Amino acid sequence: MARYEKGHKDETRQRILDVAARQFRERGVSAAGLAGIMTEAGLTNGAFYVHFDSKEDLIRTVLDDALARREQAWRKLEDEEGGLSTMIGEYLSARHRDDPGGGCPTAAMVAEVAREPVATRSTFTERIADIVARIAAKVKGPSAKQREADALAIYALMVGALQLARAVNDKKLSDRILASGAATARRLAGAP
């Protein structure tokens, strides 16, 4: 029996997660089948169950991993001068709009997450709460309650604007949606 190097199982699991995350974002959770994910990952279908109990387990893990990575990327920006404004600008950019497979899982998957079981929605809810808290910490406002309310509105505006910009087939309109969303989010945040 062949022995694998230390860390092989973790690397294989991460490869499955990366392929699944991209396919879920590009095609949708329902349209991305396990066979296609495993084939693209260069693995057999049977290998899936070494790493995950079910597709639901995979979806939950993908959401947790992808949202943690997004939060980590934002963490790097938030301490910079104008960090929140930069975060908003990067989120509502043509580059992000044009790369759903590598972009925010919230914008790409939120409608499908709403139909997932409670455990998956709970994971999603926890990660979203963390992201909103990070935004609230940078928002200008008279009270913690108001900053949280504004942060919720900012994140909802960003996600919705990105979804809408991706859905329309008029590039100029799409660009205006992104620009308007970014300007409004910055205004709500009290950011330049």
We report the CATH number of the domain holding residue 74 as: 1.10.357.10
* Number of structural domains the chain divides into: 1
In a domain, 84, yes or no: yes
The answer to whether residue 110 is domain-embedded is yes
Distances (CA, A) of 163 to 64, 99, 118, 160, 177: 20, 12, 24, 5, 10
Residue 73 confidence (pLDDT): 80
pLDDT digits (tens, 9 = 90+) for 125-139: 999 999 999 999 999
Give the model's pLDDT for residue 7: 67
Structural domain harbouring 171: 54-189
Measure the CA–CA gap between 148 and 7, rounded to whole angstroms: 40
Q: pLDDT digits over 22-37, tens only?
A: 999 999 999 999 999 9
| Model pLDDT for residues 35-62, shown as the tens digit of each residue | 999 999 999 888 999 999 999 999 999 9
Q: Angle, nearest 10°, between helix axes 83-91 and 171-189?
A: 160
Question: For residue 125, is it within any domain?
Answer: yes
Pull the structure tokens for residue 8: 């092989």
